[in-house]
Amino acid sequence: MNELTRKSLPDFQGLPNITFRQLEVFHAVCREGSYANAALELRSTRANIKRVSTEFEKAVGRPLFEELEDRSLRPTVFAQGLMAQTGPLSRGLRRLDENVRSQHASGRILRFAAAGEFFKEGLFSDFLSRLRISDTFRPCFLRVDTKRFRTALLNAECDVYFGAGLTSSDRLDLVDLGPIPWKIVKGAAFKGALPARPSDLPPGRWWIADAGDVEATAAVLAEFHEAGAKGGRILMEGGIGGGPASDEIVFSHDGMTAPSVIPCDGAWPCFRFAAVLRKHHPYSELLPRLKGAALS
């Protein structure tokens, strides 16, 4: 390509006002040879199609069509070249539009997220059985560490985050889904019956498994102390900071092996099961449906 030819070409990088709609209309008019026929294909009006075509012509700075004696439209040489170059893009956009329409027809994708094996818990399964979403949404499930749940929600990596001991903020809505029963794992050398209340716990020989939010776990530990328990430590994920001895017991909110379950009857402080989502979420019906599935 010589220098004169290069200078005669338009600068496509300087065309920020070109829209997908303009490309769609341009290709339709090229195929149909008239504004009226293009309007029928795109389910619009002749006036609208001509207006969009004129705007596109101004944006590229070149004539795009020649009107023949029979009033049909013939693409100019420039338009024919532009048609060839933008054809793959136009076809890709058409397929994308069809896929989006198909997704909307069969339900919008709703991304549920939680940490670890939370989705395998009966607590979540019970909630999901009450949540009415099949008529509107297609759920999928993502694993996101609790320490990242706020970032994941605000960055739109997920739509709803489920967990224990979660808190809201000025940019996040929280739906309280009810208390989480404690699951107690006794060490192999632990002797005696399970405690009936916090004050029955053996001093200093019990742990609370971290829920992912250290502040929330520390708050529950403080509630145990207020209820008469003495000592107690937080069991961090990965065993950071040590772990329980064989004669100690662990309170957990997740599915540890062969647990004994303590019901949430008011005697025991416990974590709350919660769902968190962005405020003003684009799925406006999502928050009411989450609240409708919460236990009263």
pLDDT in tens, 137-195: 888 889 998 889 999 999 989 999 998 888 888 899 999 988 888 888 888 778 877 78
Res. 296 pLDDT band, cuts 50 70 90? low
Q: Encode 164-175: b = buried (16+ Cβ within 10 Å), e = exposed.
A: bbbeeeeebbbb
The pTM of this model reads: 0.59
Q: What is the mean pLDDT of the chain?
A: 80
State in words which class domain 10-105 has.
mainly alpha
Q: Return the structure tokens found at 175.
A: 């739906």
**For strand 182-186 and strand 260-262, is the pairing parallel, antiparallel, or unpaired?**
antiparallel
Dihedral class, residue 254 (left if φ above 0, else alpha if ψ from -120 to 50, else beta): beta
Angle at 115 between CA 109 and CA 118, to 5 degrees: 85
Domain ranges of the chain: 10-105, 108-178+273-293, 181-270
Question: Over 70: is that where the pLDDT of 50 sits?
Answer: yes
pLDDT-derived band at 129, boundaries 50, 70, 90: confident
Q: Which of 20-34, 163-177, 196-210, 260-274 has the lowest mean pLDDT?
A: 260-274
Report d(CA 24, CA 127) in Å as an integer. 45
CA 23 – CA 206 distance, rounded (Å): 67
Reported as a pLDDT band with limits 50, 70 and 90, residue 59 is confident
Q: What is the pLDDT of residue 6?
A: 41
First to last CA, the chain: 74
Which has the closest alpha carbon to 85: 66, 60, 68, 51? Answer: 60
Phi, psi of 88 (to 5 degrees): -60, -40
Q: Show the tokens assigned to 108.
A: 């919008």
The pLDDT of residue 103: 61
pLDDT bin (cut points 50, 70, 90) of residue 277 is very high
List all residues 6 or more positions away from 267 whose beta carbon is below 8 Å from its beta carbon.
196, 197, 198, 227
% pLDDT > 70, the chain: 81
244 Cβ contact partners less than 8 Å away, ≥ 6 residues apart: 187, 207, 235, 250
Of 107 and 1, the structure prediction assigns the larger pLDDT to 107
Burial label, 204 (beta-carbon count in 10 A; 0-12, 13-18, 19+): exposed
Amino acid at 118: F
Q: 108-178+273-293: which CATH topology?
A: D-Maltodextrin-Binding Protein; domain 2 (3.40.190)
Between 261 and 5, name the one with better pLDDT: 261
Contact, 208 vs 279, CB < 8 A? no
Q: Does residue 94 or residue 222 have the better pLDDT?
A: 222
Is the pLDDT at 9 greater than 50? The verdict is no
The answer to whether the Cα torsion of 114, 119, 123, 124 is positive or negative is positive
Inter-residue contact 233 to 216 (CB < 8 Å): no
